Structures are given as structure tokens and as C-alpha cells.
Structure 1
Amino acid sequence: MKVRASDEVWRLLYEPLTRRWGVALMRYLARTADGDALLGDDDGVVPLEAAVPEHTSVRDALPAAAAGTLPGADDATAERTPRGNYSLGAPVAEPGKLFGIGLNYVEHAGDLSEDAPEEPASFFKPTTAATGPGGPIRLPPAEISDRVTAEAELAVVIGRTCRNVDAADADDVIAGYVPVIDMTAEDILQRNPRFLTRSKSFDTFLVFGPHIAMPEPGADLADTTVRTVIDGETIAENVVGNMTFSPRELVAYHSDVMTLQPGDVISTGTPGAGVIEPGSHVRAEVDGFGGVAADVTR
């Protein structure tokens, strides 16, 4: 499903990245629904190849994004185009490993009568679960699951192959951040906690996009608000500073377990989830980094 973002939608989602917060223009990488790579900022976008001819895809550009050597739109041979002119897909066509983190906000753990884990409670989702902006999120047949929840998260996109990274050096391997909506077939999980993988792995159970935001290295994320919105109602919100494990700590932790590679995605946990049904409209809002939305169907 292609989603064309109107100028007004772009303004509401992306202008606050800089204008409202009074910081430098946020740069980002994006990919059209037809697969064309874009580089831009709040003033518009250019074809990625117009700025970096050797990079033909967003994945190609991830190492340079992590290294801080990716040029800006000002360096392109093409003029900026308004972002609302494009229908956007997932920013990485074929993401790598998809990590989820459970109970990473202390308050969310308390809401579920759980203790916050002493180590990151991570799990994998298959790449087939990933879909782009707009979705749609397709619920499984009711006889398989009749209680699915959706939750907003801030995710980290890895830009460079790495192992045993210190949290203090994590920015050297992070290409950027992306808003995501994560789904859980909650009734399946409630039957048995060992069914976590099944409950998280249905097709379209991770809405990923619409861009990879690239803040300046060392940017303070603590006051960044993550908000789950369903049918216009804010279901839950919290700030990154209230995570048990910060995004940089999560990168370090998982790099001690396995090699991380460009295109791997670590969703850092949610402040809370809400039940969704056919006809619902879900939005993940991450202040300063944009948002992603999708409709729900069965």
C-alpha cells in the first residue's frame, strides 16, 4: 500500500523536528515506495545519488551515516523537492536482524505487574514482520488471535559492522533512529510466555519508517517523548530518559552477544500499548524524530 503524505501531514510530523525544538535541521534518509533513495532535511529532499553518486540505496549510505561523513542535501547536484511529493516506503528495503526489548520503561513494567528486568529482555522478530508507513497492519484470523495490541517505539538503526562496542562509543556505529509501531498477539502470549516469538511474528507486525533520522553525534535523547496514539487518543507516553536501558546501552549490550551489521534494527521498548481492531488507526509519535502511522485491517 502506497501512502502519499500531504504537505500538511509532513508539516505536522516533521516541522517540529527543528522549528519547535529550536535545534539544527535534522537530516534523514528515506526511501520512496518505488525504491528510490532520498536524502534530506526539513527543507526538502534530493535523490541520494545526487549528493553521493556511489550510494544507490539507503543501505549503502548507512556506514557513512554512522561515521558522520554523509553529505547533506546542500551538497547535492539536484534542487530540493518538497517531501510531500513522495509516497514513502520502509527506509531500508531489507532490514537485517530485528530486535525488540520488553519492559524497558519502569512504569510500563509496573503497569503489567512485572519487575523491570536487570538485563535487557530482548527478542527477535522476523524480517517478514516489517512493513512500511501506512501498513496496513493485518490482524490474524480471529480464531488464531482476537486480542492484538499496538505500541509506539523508538528504534535504532545500525550503520556499521561492530562487535563489543562500549555504550560511550555507540554513536560511532548508529546510523540513526526511526519510529516504529510494534504489535503483539497478546492472547497468544498470555497462554504461555514461551509463545513470545509467535505472538510477535505475524506479517505486518512491525511498521517501520518513514525515515531514518540522523541527529548530531552525542545528542541528548533523555527528554525525547515516545507516544502511542490509537484513533486519535494518546494511550501511553514516556520519555527516553525513563528507560531502564538507553538506546546506546542496548547497542552495546547486544554487540557483546553477536556481531551487529548495517541495517540491523533495535526497537528500544514502549511506554505502553493499546488494543487494536479492524478499522483502527495507529500512530507512533517520537518527538524530535517524527512519526509513523498505519491503518488496521484483517
Structure 2
Amino acid sequence: MKRIVQAECLQYIATLPEASFPLIYLDPPFNTRKTQQRRRIRAVADENGPRRGFGGKRYRTEALAAPVYADRFEDFEAFLIPRLEQAYRLLTPTGSLFVHLDYREVHYIKVALDTIFGRKSFLNEIIWAYDYGGRSRKRWPAKHDTLLWYAKNPHQYTFNYEAIDRIPYLTPKMVGPEKAARGKTPTDVWWQTIVPTGSREKTGYPTQKPLKLLERIVRVHSNPGDVVLDFFAGSGTTGEAAAKHGRGFVLVDESPEAIAIMQRRLAPYGPEIIGFDATHSVSQTR
């Protein structure tokens, strides 16, 4: 199954059958109290343009339409908790949930997830650390997000150790050529850059996460043929990571801009595009 659904996520996922997904990854709004937007431009050849490029050719830049949303909630926990309860219902008995947040709300959501899953089901707090952007002179610059990993059954869950992408040793000469060539397994602190501005991976979606981050989660915490669910799908990174590694996906987002980005990005995988009408309780394929 490869499916993209435009819908208010809670209304749609409430219609899905119980225990349907072995892996759910969620990157919800962070409640930053800001308007999230990324500036998008393109270069256009123009002999009178103000910019000079390769070979002395001149060009100008044009602004492109960019997705935008207001990331602010009066009661963020009241918004997210019903959706996390649905995630628990939708996980298979050996399934895992990853919730991706930052320092603003992660502690409150950790307490909520402990209640929903049970504290023993909490397996890891993973820190995604990056070094990009401005640096405050009034406090330590915030340069990490947090991923909370919960297993529905803390004694039986998917963890494909051999599928972990290894990282270089800092001092390879000290461990010998064999270990150096193999690399070492990452810890619960994952050092990875954000999606670079000039990268082909960049979609223009304001909160896009890097593909390598999702590939690690998909490879290790699901198996080929599984279907991965993401109901805050945004730019569709979860879907691309799943499809690249032989998994299916169900991606849900309410934003027409997000749906358009996912449709373009995932077109090579031939996803079904669904418009969900909660009023009439039907889905229509476009």
C-alpha cells in the first residue's frame, strides 16, 4: 500500500482498523508560537539581471509560492493526546511509535505517552543534534530535537540491528583496520545535518526533516513489506524513506500544499491519492 490522504488526521485515522501498522512516525507541530514558512526562489536567466553567475551570465531571482502555517496552540496537549491514543490503537502488538518534538513540549508529551503506553514501554530518548543557523547571545543556542521511542510491547518489538547504518570512528587507527572499515553503531545522539538549502532533497516545506534520519528509523524498526504510518506527513519524507527500502506507506496531512509536494515527490512510487470527506464518511480517489 502506498497512499497519500488529504484529511484532518484525527478524523481519518479513527476510521482505520486496529493494529494495522508496525511503525508510526509523527512529526507534529512543535507549538513554537511562530508562523512557519521557508522562502523559496528560483534563478531566471536575464541579461540585465543584478546577479552574475558561471561564465559571466547574468540572472535574476523570482519568489515562489511556499507552504505556510501558524504553529501555535492554546492547549497543545489537548490537541495531540487524542492523536497519540489513536497511534497506540493502530500499532501492531510488536509495533513502535516515534514522536519527534523539540524542547518546548517534549517533556509534557513524554508524561502523556507514559500514561498511554505505560512507562515500561518507553525505550529511548533520541537526540537529533545539528549545527546550523543563528546563535543566540542570550542563552545556549538550541540545536537539537528529541525523538521519543515507545514500543507497544517492551519485551517484543522490531529492532533490526544489522540494518543500522554505521558511523566512522573518531580515531580509526586506535581500533584497527577491520573495525575502522566496519564503523561503529550510533548512540542515542544522532549527529546529522538538516536538509541543506541547495540540496536536491529540499522541497520548500518549512519543517522538512532529512531523509537519512527517516531511513534509519524505517530500516531498523520495520521490515520489508510493512506499511508505515505518518499522519503529520508534511513533505512526505517518511513515505520516501519507506518506499526506498521496500515498505509501503500511509501519509496523512490536511494542507493542500503538503499534499501537492508529496504528490510530486513520491510520483515515482505511484501512490494512491485520497481526499477524505469526514462529513459523508467516504474516501474519494483523485
TM-score by length of 1: 0.26
Task: Give the alignment's TM-score, normalised by structure 2.
Answer: 0.27
Q: Which has the larger share of helix?
A: 2
